[in-house]
Amino acid sequence: MKRLALTRLLYFSDEVLYSLLHALVSKTSLEEAFFWLAEAYYSGFHDELVRHLWRIYYDFYAVTYPKYEKKITDLTYKWRQGEDKDDLTPLAYVVNMLFFSKATPTVFLLRITAGKSPRSIYTGKTPTWLAELGLPRRERQLIRSIDEANDENLAFYLTCPADRARQYEAIKAYFRERHGLAFREGKGLGGIPYGDKGHIALALVCHLREDIAAIRRNRIFRKLGDSAVAGLKEFNDHSVAPPRKTLPTKRLYPISPMVRCFELLQDTECSARSITPQELVWYHWEFFASRSPLWASRFEEYRASFDEDSMEIRFPDDDSLEAFYARYNYEPDEQSKEVQGLGLTLHTAGPALLEGWLISRFNCYTHIGRCPAY
């Protein structure tokens, strides 16, 4: 998500996805994970949500759960080919699967700390084993970095622009010839419905270096309860009257404070417009809600338009205005402090927040002050 938008219940869009990440990795509760899944999905952020689930998988689960890659691929294609776009069952299955799996931050830490240049460049005579692989120069630097356990180089080469297909094949050639590992024929990057191919390659390297005792090779996937998705859809379809009671009734969880570990869209937007997050939601919620597919369709129904500079909403006539607010006037500025607080993250960002989360969850830390936008 490159623009700040408000979701169906007027949460900040990117913070909903980060809260989903936190619920999955920190195992807060499956109900909370499903709530954030539905909040993003029913707000219309379908493609962003699918990318987000893939990103979470490669960052925290791919190293020890390689079999999940094919399962998530199948579920992604199943969702894309489904005729009923209100049905989020395949994506709920992914959330269910990841929630009951152990998260490992290896790839996440490498990716967020990747530098803008390699730590070192290998010069001099090429080792015999590397020359025998017959790789181009740039791929030789990558493979030498893997062999030397130079993680700073590895992260750089797999996050900077490059020919990912060539890198992927070079990685497989290295582990096949140097370490005697076997790979299935025909398995490549093209069949995985996730756009960040460097991320896939980085996770592959980390997986192939992992202690075999830590890798889960079984194909047993936890069943998704029959009532789970039905409950999410029923909750979404249920309307609250009067509409000003919607937020106190349906905001079930607060945005996770952990989202402040990341660069947030609200910071950029509020700085550019010289307003606070509270003012943005109190006085201009319609403008920012219109950036989500769900609210955009609602505004279109009532022929509303917006002024980009003033962030003001306009209706063609009073009847349209009154009809819209009769259904959707959530009155965020009139809610209790408790209800408003569920959607606002005013905690201070900094190294201590990220390090505290990493230490409490994984007993590790990083010196990076704040993660780039996820």
Domain range summary for the chain, segments of one domain joined by +: 45-224, 242-374
Tokens representing 109?
A: 């830490």
Which one-letter amino acid corresponds to residue 365? Y
Alpha helices by DSSP H, the chain: 13-26, 30-42, 46-60, 68-81, 89-99, 106-112, 128-131, 137-147, 151-157, 164-179, 197-209, 226-237, 246-250, 265-273, 277-289, 293-301, 318-328, 337-341, 351-362
> What's 313's DSSP letter?
E
| Among 323, 313, 319, CA closest to 288 | 313
| Among 116, 15, 109, CA closest to 355 | 109
Tens of pLDDT, residue by residue, the chain (374 residues)? 589 999 999 999 999 999 999 999 999 999 999 999 999 999 999 999 999 999 999 999 999 999 999 999 999 999 999 888 889 999 999 999 999 999 999 999 999 989 999 999 999 999 999 999 999 988 999 999 999 999 999 999 999 999 999 999 999 999 999 999 998 876 689 999 999 999 999 999 999 999 988 898 776 778 888 789 999 999 999 999 999 999 999 999 999 988 988 889 999 999 999 999 999 999 999 999 999 999 999 999 999 999 999 999 999 999 999 999 999 999 999 999 999 999 987 655 555 678 888 888 888 867 666 777 77
In the block, tokens 């990318």 appear at: 51
- Please, what's the b/e burial string for 217-242 (b: 16 or more CB within 10 A of its CB; e: otherwise)? eeeeeeebeeebbeebeeebeeeeee
Beta strands 313-314; 305-306: pairing state: antiparallel
Total-model pTM: 0.95
